[in-house]
Amino acid sequence: MGIVHTEITLKNAIDVGEVQRGHITEQEVRGVTVQALVDTGSGTLVISEQVRAALGLAVRGLRRTELANGAKQVYQVTEPVEIHWKDRDTTCPALVLPDAREVLLGAIPLEDLDLVVDPIRQVLTGAHGDEVLCMVK
């Protein structure tokens, strides 16, 4: 299977909650749209320090993680990030790799978004079709 990238929008989930409470406007929500590497070998969302800062995410803690190259280090874990892909969204914390060259979209958010990699077309697709059957907000 080849390398798959997809466009996702990341938003500060705390900001989104503040909009719902009427404390800030939708325009004040910090967000970025990126081409993410779909990495089914990664557990979660991985972002760089630059993306963390752009989203204004606080660090909630630390996690010891093993990278694909076998390096084991302690990395920062952020407060929740909203991940938007087409008409789907989910929320999860992100792992911050300070020098990450690209955002990695890992297995846990992929599962929560109900997405799978189509190895023939090398794209993401809905595991049960491209339409979301129900949206809970």
**pLDDT at 1 (0 to 100):** 55
Above 80 in pLDDT, residue 112?
yes
Above 80 in pLDDT, residue 20?
yes
Above 90 in pLDDT, residue 134?
no
Above 60 in pLDDT, residue 94?
yes
How high is the mean pLDDT of the chain?
Answer: 91
Q: Which domains does the chain have, with CATH numbers?
A: 5-126 (2.40.70.10)
79-82: long-range contacts, CB 8 A cutoff, minimum separation 24:
79/12, 79/13, 79/14, 80/13, 80/14, 81/10, 81/11, 81/12, 81/13, 81/45, 81/47, 81/55, 81/57, 82/10, 82/11, 82/12, 82/13, 82/16
Higher pLDDT, 131 or 100: 100
Higher pLDDT, 61 or 71: 61
**pLDDT at 128 (0 to 100):** 79
User: How far is the C-alpha of 49 from the C-alpha of 64, rounded, in Å?
Assistant: 17
Query: Residue 90 is encoded by which pair of tokens?
Result: 């989910």
> What are the Cα distances from residue 52, in Å, to 31, 55, 115?
10, 5, 24
